[in-house]
Chain A
């Protein structure tokens, strides 16, 4: 995903402006910048060809991973049992937001499961952002636009799709950053141990 983001920024730098609709109205972009600095891209900022090659190679890996994950999550019950928020979860959403704002995290048995904010965030990322960024990427392909004109209808044109692709990319980046910050502030050592070994110290022995 890092390579996708960096090569994506490199491709974006070839024409660092965003538009809405089918075509680019050069006088009225939504956003126009001078381009991202070299450190944020992979090759020299002008090397569009290599950026595209990297981007498409890793896009295929991303899609393949996504399909495997989606199948496992649905068939293995991860989606239903861990990700889908229960009614009880949703009732506690206000409480959960207040606790998070104070950087107080669930303790005890509650900490073993995803809390409601986690569930909703993961669902948005998995069910909305990831499929959307792939679809928006596909909608930029003139070949697929010919075969699947609904892509253009769905995104309100190719340039809109490019803008949405860009917004999704930065939303995913924001998710990763927040996720990593939360892993650190809610107990780095304990979290890493649980990811690797499955043991998660819920703090009762020390309580």
Chain B
């Protein structure tokens, strides 16, 4: 009785061994010396993005919590005090002179003062912020939907990404933080440009005067200290071409996981 499966198993093992051996002998010579295993690992990001997008409805909302759930201590990630002198001058004046430029591939480029943004319809949401490091905090955010702003400027048909340019330099080279999301994320109902946190003016540690909230991605996507927004067809020519400051350091552009 045991003979048949054993024969099957032996034949199977023999063919596996042959196959693996053949692959090694035949394939190894063909792997170029500069074969980039990082590229292979990076392919998982594409699989994750396509799979997550495929199984999640486009308008599915991130869970919204209640006031009782607010975190007593909301940790600030990334920069907490930009050293840029221009930024500091704006901050001293309560950002009265700050203006958000919205341009790039849009029909009607324009800029907004903080007061103008606050005059637009707002959305308030209590959501969970997930840092790439692993911790989560719950905060209340009020701001204007990015979709509202995009409707005002009219994206060009070629536009695919929204680029956020920030005031904070991340290292001594002076390269400033930047981020990008695609239009799917930009038009999501919970994607807002927040100017209030927990019922108060957005603190500098959390990105004053304006930060992005994209509740279905990790914290590093949610650019703080936003100075300028541009729509673009692609980001290959921007920074190191990966779509964001941390992406240029090796982090995934798709931060839904």
Q: State whether A142 touches B130 (Cβ < 8 A).
A: yes
Asked if B152 is an interface residue, CB under 8 A from chain A, the answer is no
Assuming the contacts A141-B52, A198-B5, asked whether A23 and B251 have C-beta atoms less than 8 A apart, the reply is no
Q: Binary interface profile of A, 46-67, with partner B (CB < 8 Å = 1, else 0)?
A: 0011101110110110000000
A152–B45 Cα distance when bound, in Å, is 23
- A53 and B128 contacting across the interface, CB-CB below 8 Å: no
Bound form: Cα–Cα A49–B134 in Å: 12
Q: Which residues of A contact B130 (CB under 8 A)?
A: 140, 142, 158
For the complex, give the distance between the alpha carbons of A162 and B2 in Å.
44
A186 within 8 A of B: no
Q: A23-B69, A149-B63 are in contact. Are A143 and B52 (CB under 8 A)?
A: yes
A118-B6 Cα distance, complex, nearest whole Å: 22
B198 CB, min distance to chain A CBs, angstroms? 13
A144 contacts the other chain (CB 8 A):
yes
What bracket does the count of chain B residues touching chain A fall in?
35 or more
Q: Are A146 and B131 in contact (CB under 8 A)?
A: no
- Dominant secondary structure at the A interface: helix
The reply to whether A143 and B138 form a contact with Cβ atoms under 8 Å apart is no
Give a binary string over B38-80; 1 marks a CB under 8 Å from any A CB, 0 the rest.
Answer: 1011111101100010011100111101000101110100000
Name A146's contact: one of B9, B62, B75 (CB within 8 Å).
Answer: B62
Query: Is B33 part of the contact surface with A, judged by Cβ < 8 Å?
Result: no
Indicate if B10 sits at the interface (CB-CB under 8 A): yes
Separation of A19 and B135 alpha carbons in the complex (Å): 9
Interface of B is mostly: loop
Q: Is the CB of A48 within 8 A of B56?
A: no
Q: How many A-B residue pairs have CB under 8 A?
A: 126
Given contacts A25-B72, A53-B252, A142-B215, contact A48 B136 (CB under 8 A): no
CB-CB under 8 A from A207, the residues of chain B are none
Contacting pair A53 B13 (CB below 8 A): no
A159 contact set on B, CB distance < 8 A: 135-136
Decide yes or no whether A24 CB sits under 8 A from chain B: yes
Asked if A205 CB lies within 8 Å of chain B CBs, one says: no
The answer to whether the Cβ of A14 comes within 8 Å of any Cβ in the partner chain is: yes
CA distance A198 to B3 in the complex (A): 9
Enumerate A136-175 residues with CB–CB distance to B below 8 Å. 140-149, 152, 158-159, 162
Encode A21-59 as 1/0 by CB contact (under 8 A) with B.
Answer: 011111100000000000000000000111011101101
**How distant is the Cα of A19 from the Cα of B114 in the complex, in angstroms?**
37
CA distance A113 to B213 in the complex (A): 56
Residues of A contacting B246 in the complex (Cβ-Cβ under 8 angstroms) = 49
Chain A residues within an 8 Å CB radius of B57: 147
Q: Which 5 A-B pairs have the closest CB atoms?
A: A143-B256, A147-B56, A49-B250, A198-B6, A57-B44
Given contacts A24-B136, A145-B63, A147-B60, 16 further A-B contacts (CB under 8 A): A23-B137, A23-B138, A25-B72, A25-B73, A26-B75, A50-B250, A54-B41, A60-B48, A141-B256, A142-B128, A143-B217, A144-B257, A145-B216, A146-B60, A197-B6, A197-B10
Q: What are 13 A-B pairs with beta-carbon distances under 8 A?
A: A23-B69, A23-B71, A23-B136, A23-B137, A23-B138, A52-B132, A53-B41, A142-B217, A143-B256, A148-B56, A197-B9, A198-B6, A198-B10
